[in-house]
Amino acid sequence: MGERRKLVKLLFLSLSLLVAFISIINFYTSTVNVRSFNFSEVKEAFVIKQLKPRFYSLKSSSLIKIDQCQQLTQNKELCNISITVKTTNSNHQKKVIPIIQTWFSQLASQVYFITDREDRTISRLTHNHLIDTKCGSNHYRESLSCKLEEELRHFGRNPSNWYCHFDDDNYLNVNRLFDVLKNYDFRNDWYIGKKSINHKLSAIYKNKVHYFSFATGGAGFCLSKSLFNKISTYIEDFVNISNSIGLPDDCSLGFIIESLIGVNLTEIHDFHSHLEYLGSFNSNNLKNQVSLSYKFETNNFVNISAFKNSDEDPTKFKAIHCNLYSKQSICLN
């Protein structure tokens, strides 16, 4: 009897020791986590808190993709779209986070950010939809063209009916984009966007002068599947073509499409870059715009009051988003 009791006691003791050991380990790891908390992780925690109800399961700490596309359009062919957003490391916090908090969520599985530096925070928040290109992070022609070439490569890996590019200061009104695209058949060649200059550009290529228009990258543009298939053969030469005509990314794409392939730009005036005055857009006409933008340096913003306070919404993307889609979780609290 005594032996048995001793055995039970011993068993109990070892179990307690095991539990204590596990607790210590747990405590240690959580202490390490707390200690390594830095500013960007605090910001991340803030974003997670904001997005949590819909997009996050903190337990698995992985993003749960909620594809809202089917709720936006009855036309399932439109949801077969691939979107890239060109950004750079120094814009991740300032410009990419407002996109993640707003329109990204509506097409989370189709939108990828093309950048020049790895970023664990953004990767986690987007479920690894951040592509580090190793392109330069400056604004020189070659770095910009390098990124557009990577965007085109990404499109090539993700066959879709439509391919669209946007910049990291673009708010994309997904509903309006679909309204526009549904008027065009992706089985035909379509190059859709907006010019930023009225005259045609000229370029000398292989001893011949070409005149062409281009859709300005800062307002976003879309390519139909049929047109993209024709562009495919130029992708690996993109940076070289851009260098040989001496023009940046969006101009070079315009050159390839209009001059080499022979398809003209279809101009849609509802795409907007920060080169335009944005103050004329307000709650009365937001829903008709495909893309909007902002520029801190020139105080150029959509004429809408910031969401809650301007510190929380310096880009006004939340205000725009909540004006258009008031039932989104971010707008409810």
Ligand X SMILES: *[C@@H]1O[C@H](CO)[C@@H](O)[C@H](O)[C@H]1NC(C)=O
Residues forming the active site: 250
What are the DSSP E strand ranges found in 177-323? Answer: 191-193, 201-205, 208-212, 221-224, 265-267, 291-292
Q: How far apart are CA 37 and CA 123, in angstroms?
A: 17
With residues binned 3-state (H G I as helix, E B as strand, rest as coil), the percentages for the chain, rounded to 5, are 50, 15, 35
Answer yes or no: are the C-beta atoms of 111 and 122 closer than 8 Å.
Answer: no
Q: How far is the CB of 22 from ligand X (least distance, A)?
A: 26
Closer residue to ligand X, CB minimum distance, 240 or 288: 240
CB of 98 to ligand X, least distance (A): 18
Minimum CB distance to ligand X, residue 8 (Å): 48
Q: Which residues contact 186 (CB under 8 A, 6 or more apart)?
A: 77, 161, 162, 224, 225, 226
Q: Which residues bind ligand X (CB under 6 A)?
A: 38, 40-41, 80, 110, 120-121, 159-160, 236-237, 240, 262, 264, 279, 282, 303
Q: Smallest gap, in angstroms, from Cβ of residue 282 to ligand X?
A: 6
14 or 280: whose CB is closer to ligand X? 280
Whether 274 and 300 have beta carbons less than 8 Å apart is answered as yes
Nearer to ligand X, 284 or 333 (CB): 284
Q: Are strands 201-205 and 208-212 parallel, antiparallel or unpaired?
A: antiparallel
Tally of residues, the chain: 333
Using an 8 Å Cβ cutoff, are 205 and 318 in contact?
no
Minimum distance of ligand X from residue 38's CB (angstroms): 4
The nearest distance, CB 40 to ligand X, in angstroms, is 4
- Name the amino acid, one letter, at 230: K
- Judge contact between 192 and 268, C-beta under 8 A: yes
Residue 331 CB-density burial (10 A; 0-12 exposed, 13-18 middle, 19+ buried): middle
Looking at beta carbons only, is 237 or 267 nearer to ligand X?
A: 237
Bin 264: left if φ > 0, else alpha if -120 < ψ < 50, else beta.
beta
Nearest Cα to Cα of residue 293 among 265, 270, 266: 270
Which residue lies nearer to ligand X by CB, 101 or 161?
161
State which residue, 50 or 121, has the beta carbon closest to ligand X: 121
